[in-house]
Structure 1
Amino acid sequence: MMKRTALTQKLLVLGIDGMDPKITGKYLAAGKMPNLQAFIDRGAARKDLTMLGAIPTITPPCWTTLATGAYPGTHGITCYWRQSPDSLDAVVYNMDSRYCTAEQIWNITAEAGKKTLVWHWPGSSWPPTSPSPQLSVVDGTQPGSVNMGVAQLDWEKIIVAAPDIKEVRYAPRVDKPAGVGCIITDLEATLDDEVDDEMMELWWGDKARQGDEIRTYVMDDQDTEVVIGSKVAYDIVNSPLKEATGWISAPAGAKEFTILTSGGVMRRPALLLRNETGEYDRVAVYKNKKAAAPLVTLERDKMVTGIIDDVTKNEVTKPACRSMKLLELDPAGNRVRLWISNALDIANDMLWHPKTLFDDITRHIGVVPPVSLIGGEDAELVREIFEPSWALYNRWQAACLNYCIREKGYEVVFSHLHNIDCASHQLWHLAKTLPEWQHTDEATYQQFIEKFYRQTDEYFGEFLHLLEDGWTVLIVSDHGLIVGENVPPILGEYGGLNTKVMEALGYTVLKKDENGNSLREVDWEKTRAVQIRSNYIYINLKGRDKHGIVDQKDKYALEEQIINDLYNYRDHRSGRRVVGICLRNKDAVLLGTHGPECGDIFFSIEEGHNRLHGDSLSTSEGYFDTSVSPIFVAAGPGIKPGFTTDRIIRQVDVAPSVSALLGLRYPAQCEGAPLYQILSEEI
């Protein structure tokens, strides 16, 4: 129901996960983001483009704040994970709208009769929370890309073929190149009995969504996400390269090699083909040697997506979509190296509502293209694979959203894109030369940061035409990402239990092996408090916790002692204070980080010791002109053109501003206020 005069009838939210206004400003000043500049010139923002982010500065809480106008302590999505109700050292899946205790803005727009699309909004969108037939929702169960969590059937691979390789060999999930150029020199050394082909499902699939506990102990730097994220594993396949035989249509001079997929159980023959000058310049991949036409023909420097091939997983075979690219091809035909992406089930519509939307998108735009998750410290893979795969995905998503607007009649669209954040978790920490990463070149990785911002600007350019069609466009992010000044201490890692600092202070005690080394198991009889997830400390309290040893009457004094010790703690590398703010739960209401999901103590890491974003305040800044602040820009009907505001814009202000622009009521638990100052009319 309309509550007041609407200032616009059509509204698009372009959400970019991890987009930082500080570094954006640098690229704008250099003329490298012309499409974003066009939105700014025609719209309104602060001069510094910043928005004050909710805390913790982590994807699901911040996107939920943007959607509800409520702080995390109110809406209940307080980290990437939820605390396990049974264990202080375990977490459970959190990106489920049923955990959200505040009303989402898209339910209001849909129930007011506005045809509304929520596209891959992580944290509070899936499953749909309104029965309105005007509401469509696509995924949102994980932050990566659409369908990543449920449709993945096979992992990424590097294939190397050469004449001196004697047999086809397969090594799964190798976390670094096995010898020069991905030649398997010691097959046994590359195999790990604990290789987990269900990795994606563990984090985002059925196991996680069913509420199973995930127990991760962060004990040293090798357990941290910046290290793990920059060494993402891939499968390696080695194959002999020889004269083509047994083919029904192999051209003269063609050479053959073999590709293994599906955990090594499915074979695909491939041919090296010559051009008219006699040089080998392309590769054709076939389903079998009797096939009349290839699945795909690959040329140098061109990534190809939309390749449909059968993939077998758990003894079930399904058609899946892949991308491929040649990395190396000797013109004389003596060596070839290529990348094959992960494989996405092309028929998986599990996370689409209504399912007819999935059919429309795949029929008119194309199947969901896989994005690469490998690269990290291998600059070649970042340059040739990781970044181009996201550029392809960005174009597909932009085409999908424009199709939904143009052909499906959606009037309100809330969208999320994860390219910058995904890259940052692999790459950003390498953009400053620190002792742990001296083998990488910071200038190279600074160029990669720029590349991802420029590809995002190209994505913005796909929507500029909407301003001519009467659309209001909001550009927002959940948080920015810093290039760290120092190697972070083991405190505030969002993925699990952080032990090192809490051990040093005597609050967390781990069991020991026969040599006195700490095991990944808490000694609950001696542990008074633990630090788990991004910013939370829990007292091991009698009567509340399974193994509680601290009396309720002693809780307040223990909290004071922990807070004092954390303020006094110094980093062993820099000698500087590590903890920035430390508050009891009752006091953390000042920051919106209160309530049962926010621990007994909330803390943040002091600027200069932050990891990428999740442990910090949104005002934190880092090396290479980076910050943790999110961005805000608005343009179109209802927005003052060419306007700069001095107002502090908070993430809780976005949802009520959408309500004001569309003339609708505010979300029920909203704690923010419309951005009156940038609106074209007084309301």
Structure 2
Amino acid sequence: MRTRARPRRAFGKIIGFALTGRLDASTAMFGRRPRTVAISKGASEVTRFRSRRALQAAAALPLLLTLGVSMLRALPADSAGGPRAVVLGFDGADAKLTEQWMNEGKLPNLARLREQGTFSPLRSTIPSQTPVSWSTFSTGLNPGRTSIFDFLKRDTTTYRPSFAAFDESSKPFLFGASNGPAVGALAAAAIFLVLLLLLKLFRVRLKAAALVAALFAVAAGAGGFWVGSTLLPEKVPSVINRRQGDPFWKVLGDAGKHVRVMRMPVTFPPEPFPHGEMLSGLGTPDLSGRIGKPFYFTSELFFQPRGGNEVSIEIVELEDNKGTLATEIKGPPNKLFPKQSDYIRIPMTIDVAADKSKVDIAVSNARLALKPGEWSPWVRFVFPFNSLIKVSGIGRFRVLAIEPEVRIYLSPIQFDPSDLPAIFDVTAPRAFAGELASRFGLFKTIGWMIDTWSIKGGTIDDKVFHEDTDFTVVEEEKILAGLLEDDWDVYFHYFEFTDRVQHVMWHHTDPQHPLYTAEGNARYGDSILKSYQQMDRIVGKVMEKVATMPAGTTLLIASDHGFAPWRRTMNYNTWLATEGYLVLKGSTGQQANLEDLFDQGQFFQDVDWSKTRAYAMGLGNVYINLKGREGQGIVNPGAEYEALTAEIRAKLPQYVDPQNGEHPVAYVFTRDEAYGTYDPALIPDLFPSNASGYRVGWQDSLGIVAKSIVEPNLDVWSADHCSVYPPLVDGILFANRKLDLSQKPYMADIMPTLLAIYDVPPTVELDGRSLVP
């Protein structure tokens, strides 16, 4: 029985590798490490010698090939010790604040860089959003050509929103629906041939050998059929990146330059490119497939997160506040075997000490003892889809309180960089993730690294947010310092903390914000300044390192946009409904959250499309319900379309906020004005841009009609840039060399500037210009 089971177990290990990437080559065929096979006494010494040499050569070949590939990758075609380029991206670093604090002596390293080379405000894209701007930065193309124009896009048939940068899809795994018979046949054939050869080696007669091999092959075939039909999925999820255009790292890589790109937004899934490595950035999901889903375990009865849980925090109710509490962690959605369960869940036990001094947490193979205020180290979670397929993730706990109620935070569970599934990559090449983990330890793999969702939802406070931010910055600085020691031509590293801190800490600095308090200002009023000083410190260290590099090495510092206060919310769908452009069948007041984007929630439920001429979706986009384009379009192309867009464009900036007499809309761009070249089925018809102090509402961005056109922003997410008039939120550009500032630099200028430094021509006509004089 043991012998018969071995082929199925061996085959299972092969399949396990295909899904999880874990397989020892020596165990793949036999289920154990092979022993040395003795050669019969009748064999000659020459035969033994040749056999041994052949086996040694065969064994050494993979190692030689691996070493050869590694050496080739480590020695890019043009790595000759010449000038290099270091580019640091700081998301959301604002030109006005940066210049103010430089002039006040609070950012000495950036001030020194300004004196040595160049400082200028950097013109952002329309709209000024992270994925939009960094896509233009990467490719030198305007958003109409990259096709990344917002965080969200709509389905023209169903009007449903989805993420603009990515399309989720699926692909057959191995033989798809035929996995059972195909795997069974392969297993039978493999076992038959292997056993036949082995038996012949021991000089068993052919008929007997064939009979024995056939018997084992039948057992292996049955086992393979069971594995293929039961333990293997027919399909696996996949993601398609919709950004168009060749990024600078590919063009430079094709020219023989060694480029390393760390955390650039909109690079998931990472695509291999010549002579380079990449760690993907914004857009890389957590284990649940979300932008970041934190957990909140609480014994507080009927707890409700602030703001209706728009950002989909996983709230887990605990049955008591004392003793041993059994709960679970909701892991990845079961997209491999959706008929079996919706999500993969694992049990967790929380043991509350009698004196409330600590909690003991047991989950997967981890055992933790944490006091209030303590963070855990990285914890590995193992989510089994079945006995063959498992996915590993990492996260960190923090005990927020034990009394009067138990409150425990768990960060979004991220893919483990040291143990990635074979169908999922966060780096290119794939092995780069493991190399980083071996060198620097476990690190965050999620694209949105700092958890802004929990502070927005009220499950953590400002102090915990800052702790997570500082942890993330230190982690990234360690990786940056190490990788700057390596051999490359161009190095890019992206930091997000400057953006995240401003989003949720601005109300502490803004007396006009509804949530401003003197106490909050006293404790956290300097949070934004401190984040800029963190940026300044990082720049100073990199300046010191660049000074040791070959003469002529270029240092560029850039951000994608700046910031503006968000005191009041503008709801475009409500304005459109009030003006008669959007017609409702029922009442307003429906709510949606990010979970609806993933779980096929309902949007625009009360909209009467047969009478609706325009609607809003995304972070400040207006679409015409155009006949022949939208699923239920009623507006005719041509003159009717042009007249309607002109009418809405003229009326929106005239709207007056009844509370303060201000105009929430500063300007409305047409798509021709914004881009010139674009996909007319994809790009919004109008881009309203808000005045300072205003931003589009969260619910409005998901296609919900709110009760009021304008309302106060009672959210700690108190500053933004997404729907703000772009000239109000310039980013920053620094260089350690003089740049051409005859025109105000634009996000699209960085890509051609990097190409010009290395005298590499672009592959297409770009929308940016080189800033090299």
CA contact 2:123–2:747 (8 Å) conserved in 1: yes
Quick check: 1:104 aligned with 2:252?
no
Report Cα offsets for 1:301-342 as digits up to 9, x if no partner: 664432335457899865432223454589xxx998654433
Going from structure 1 to structure 2, the CA distance change for 1:271 and 1:382 (only over 3 Å counts) comes to: closer
Match of 1:307 in 2: 379
CA contact 2:581–2:615 (8 Å) conserved in 1: yes
Of 316, 321, 324, 2:394 maps to 321
Going from structure 1 to structure 2, the CA distance change for 1:310 and 1:573 (only over 3 Å counts) comes to: same
Of 405, 412, 430, 1:342 maps to 412
Write the mapping of 1:273-284 to structure 2, written as runs, cut at 5 A: none
Quick check: 1:502 aligned with 2:576?
yes
Larger deviation, residues 21-30 vs 548-557: 21-30
Shift of 1:79: 1.2
Shift of 1:285: 4.9
Shift of 1:95: 4.3
Distance 1:656 1:523 in 2: 47
Shift of 1:632: 0.9
Quick check: 1:79 aligned with 2:150?
yes
Quick check: 1:392 aligned with 2:471?
yes
Report Cα offsets for 1:496-532 as digits up to 9, x if no partner: xxx1111111101122159999973321111111222
Distance 2:453 2:161 in 1: 27
Going from structure 1 to structure 2, the CA distance change for 1:395 and 1:43 (only over 3 Å counts) comes to: farther
Q: RMSD of the alignment, in Å?
A: 4.2
Distance 1:158 1:53 in 2: 36
Write the mapping of 1:87-486 to structure 2, written as runs, cut at 5 A: 87-88=158-159, 90-95=161-166, 98-123=241-266, 125-128=267-270, 132-140=273-281, 142=283, 148=286, 156-157=294-295, 183-184=299-300, 186=301, 189-190=302-303, 228=310, 234-235=315-316, 237=318, 240-241=321-322, 260-263=327-330, 266-268=347-349, 285=361, 295-296=367-368, 298=370, 303-310=375-382, 318-327=391-400, 339-346=409-416, 347-348=419-420, 350-369=425-444, 371-376=450-455, 381-407=460-486, 409-429=487-507, 431-433=509-511, 437=515, 443=521, 444-470=523-549, 471-484=553-566, 486=567
Amino acid in the other structure paired with 1:70: L
Bigger Rg, which one: 2
Amino acid in the other structure paired with 1:450: L
Quick check: 1:654 aligned with 2:654?
no
Going from structure 1 to structure 2, the CA distance change for 1:440 and 1:402 (only over 3 Å counts) comes to: same
Shift of 1:99: 2.8
Going from structure 1 to structure 2, the CA distance change for 1:561 and 1:475 (only over 3 Å counts) comes to: same
CA contact 1:15–1:417 (8 Å) conserved in 2: yes
Shift of 1:360: 0.4
Distance 2:666 2:321 in 1: 57
Distance 2:253 2:246 in 1: 13
Amino acid in the other structure paired with 1:664: V
Secondary structure of the residue aligned to 2:455 is coil
Report Cα offsets for 1:105-132 as digits up to 9, x if no partner: 1111111111112222223x33456x64
Distance 1:587 1:190 in 2: 48
Report the TM-score, using the length of structure 1 for normalisation: 0.71
Shift of 1:94: 1.7
Distance 1:665 1:436 in 2: 51
Report Cα offsets for 1:378-406 as digits up to 9, x if no partner: 89934332222122222222333343342
Going from structure 1 to structure 2, the CA distance change for 1:262 and 1:382 (only over 3 Å counts) comes to: same
Report Cα offsets for 1:124-171 as digits up to 9, x if no partner: x33456x643132322351xxx65366789964556xxxxxxxxxxx5
Structure with higher RCO (Cα < 8 A, 6+ apart): 1
CA contact 2:689–2:723 (8 Å) conserved in 1: yes
Report Cα offsets for 1:410-433 as digits up to 9, x if no partner: 321223222232334444356435
Shift of 1:609: 2.9
Report which of the two has the higher share of helix. Answer: 2
Match of 2:636 in 1: 551
CA contact 1:154–1:311 (8 Å) conserved in 2: no
CA contact 2:615–2:622 (8 Å) conserved in 1: yes
Secondary structure of the residue aligned to 1:580 is strand
Going from structure 1 to structure 2, the CA distance change for 1:646 and 1:366 (only over 3 Å counts) comes to: same
Of 57, 68, 88, 1:14 maps to 88
CA contact 1:60–1:95 (8 Å) conserved in 2: no
Match of 1:178 in 2: none
Stretches of structure 1 that go unaligned for 5 or more consecutive residues are: 1-5, 160-170, 172-182, 193-220, 243-256, 275-279, 492-498, 621-627, 678-683
Amino acid in the other structure paired with 1:545: E
Amino acid in the other structure paired with 2:726: S
Report Cα offsets for 1:185-235 as digits up to 9, x if no partner: x3xx3489xxxxxxxxxxxxxxxxxxxxxxxxxxxx969xxx946x95654
Going from structure 1 to structure 2, the CA distance change for 1:549 and 1:322 (only over 3 Å counts) comes to: closer
Secondary structure of the residue aligned to 1:487 is strand
Distance 1:645 1:411 in 2: 25
Amino acid in the other structure paired with 2:276: L
Quick check: 1:666 aligned with 2:759?
no
Secondary structure of the residue aligned to 2:98 is helix
Distance 1:61 1:154 in 2: 20
Report which of the two has the higher share of strand. Answer: 1
Amino acid in the other structure paired with 2:499: D
CA contact 2:293–2:313 (8 Å) conserved in 1: no
Secondary structure of the residue aligned to 2:377 is strand
Report the TM-score, using the length of structure 2 for normalisation: 0.63
Secondary structure of the residue aligned to 2:672 is coil
Identity among equivalent positions (%) equals 20
Going from structure 1 to structure 2, the CA distance change for 1:380 and 1:265 (only over 3 Å counts) comes to: closer
Report Cα offsets for 1:23-64 as digits up to 9, x if no partner: 233443454444444544443213xxx111111101111001
Shift of 1:287: 5.9
Distance 1:86 1:37 in 2: 52
CA contact 1:153–1:343 (8 Å) conserved in 2: no
Secondary structure of the residue aligned to 2:585 is strand
Going from structure 1 to structure 2, the CA distance change for 1:666 and 1:382 (only over 3 Å counts) comes to: farther
Match of 2:732 in 1: 631
Amino acid in the other structure paired with 1:406: E
Match of 1:198 in 2: none
Distance 2:582 2:630 in 1: 15
Amino acid in the other structure paired with 1:488: T
Report Cα offsets for 1:247-269 as digits up to 9, x if no partner: xxxxxxxxxx6574514852345
Amino acid in the other structure paired with 1:324: F
Distance 2:519 2:377 in 1: 30
Match of 1:574 in 2: 660
Secondary structure of the residue aligned to 2:667 is strand
CA contact 1:284–1:298 (8 Å) conserved in 2: yes
Distance 2:408 2:590 in 1: 47
Amino acid in the other structure paired with 1:618: P
Distance 1:526 1:618 in 2: 33
